[in-house]
Amino acid sequence: MIRVGLIGAGFMGTMHSSVYSFLPNVKVAAVCDLDREKAEKIAQQQGAKVYTDPDALLADSSLKLDLVDICLPTFLHAEYACKAAASGLNVLCEKPFALDLQSVDKIISAVDEAKVKLMVGQCVRFWPEYQVLKQVATEGRFGEIQGAWFSRLSPLPTWGWENWLLDPARSGGAAFDMHIHDTDFILYLLGKPQAVFSTAIEDQYGLSHISTQYLYDKLMVTAEAGWNYPAKFPFQAKFRVVFQEAVLALEERGLIVYPGDGADPYSIEIKKDTSESSAAGGNISDLGGYYNEIKYYLDCLEKGESPKVVTAQSARESVAVTLAEIESAKSGKIVSIS
């Protein structure tokens, strides 16, 4: 039985708690949030102990925790990931890893020194439609990829604690909180580009819309993300990937294959482990990739293995490329990726 301490009971903490409810051999033993009412809501569902101070949770040896799940605002990730590691606990840290490479490296050093296992919640790698895309590409089912386009759009995220999402100093803005999903998946799918060129809309919330060209030798790859949309604008995540023999597209009606030989388009049925909805207050309607990623990580822990789908280094690379995109957007120049 893996015993979990959940730190952060907002939107993401609620999503993670819902996932744990569907998984065997795991127990949420403690829930922490500055807002005691939020922590109590989850704790009552899980039969867990309530804390309002993360340090008190980490110091309570009677909990006999195996894992700390950090669902805090991004600017707090480094502090509590390092503290959890120093307490000898495995760490699941929500994405993005951190807002700068110095903080990322600090976490990696703390985890390595403590000899605990870390996974960063880059959930799109586990989202069913994107898993199919990765599998299709790896198998070469439709030939090689020639180009790809990704999009992720949302109304303004006003649901965060003290509006932290709308403070670029604490969230990194749309580039770090939204766009990094697709940046990370592009690296997973295609490897690192040689350089990036980005343009952006900047407002009082920082870079609220960003579009990037990822410069590869023989590929045309673009991704955009924005959260400067009206409240009634529906959240949407889409992609269109051009293979030699077909186009694979994630559209509103599902995952569609457009064969290159002129045959009729057809859909790929997506099998989901669970479609339970959550009333967490964000823009996700089902557990989707959160279920897949947490189940995968818990399986790794039970086997005594380090995660391979998302490694500390791959999460670091996603931060590094996102920082390069922000630099490009602000400077108007192409930025090389080392």
- Per-residue pLDDT tens digits for 293-315: 999 999 999 999 999 999 999 99
Backbone angles phi, psi at 259, to 5 degrees: -65, 145
Q: Strands 118-121 and 26-32, how do they pair?
A: unpaired
The model's confidence at residue 52, banded by pLDDT at 50, 70 and 90, is very high
C-alpha distances in angstroms, 169 versus 128, 163, 176, 186?
32, 12, 11, 25
Please tell me the distance from the alpha carbon of residue 305 to that of residue 309, in angstroms, as a whole number.
12
272 pLDDT more than 80:
no
* Class in CATH terms, 124-336: alpha beta
DSSP 176: I
282 pLDDT more than 60:
no
Which residue matches tokens 């949030």?
33
Spans of all domains in the chain = 2-121, 124-336
Backbone Cα Rg of the chain: 20
285 pLDDT more than 90:
no
279 pLDDT more than 80:
no
The model's confidence at residue 21, banded by pLDDT at 50, 70 and 90, is very high
Q: For the structural domain made of 2-121, what CATH number should be given?
A: 3.40.50.720
Say if residue 235 is exposed, middle or buried (CB neighbours under 10 Å; 0-12, 13-18, 19+).
Answer: middle
The pLDDT score that the predictor gives to residue 271 is 75
Q: What percent of the chain has pLDDT over 90?
A: 94
The pLDDT score that the predictor gives to residue 273 is 57
- Vertex 122: Cα angle to 120 and 127 (nearest 5): 140
The model's confidence at residue 280, banded by pLDDT at 50, 70 and 90, is very low
What's the average model confidence in pLDDT over 154-158? 95
283 pLDDT more than 70:
no
Count of C-beta atoms within a 10 Å radius of residue 265: 11
The pLDDT score that the predictor gives to residue 309 is 98
Among candidates 100, 148, 103, which has minimal Cα distance to 327? 100
Q: What percent of the chain has pLDDT over 70?
A: 96
Among candidates 51, 81, 49, which has minimal Cα distance to 63? 49
Q: With contact defined as beta carbons under 8 Å apart, do 97 and 313 qualify?
A: no
The pLDDT score that the predictor gives to residue 96 is 96
Of 78-87, 169-178, 249-258, 280-289, minimum mean pLDDT range: 280-289
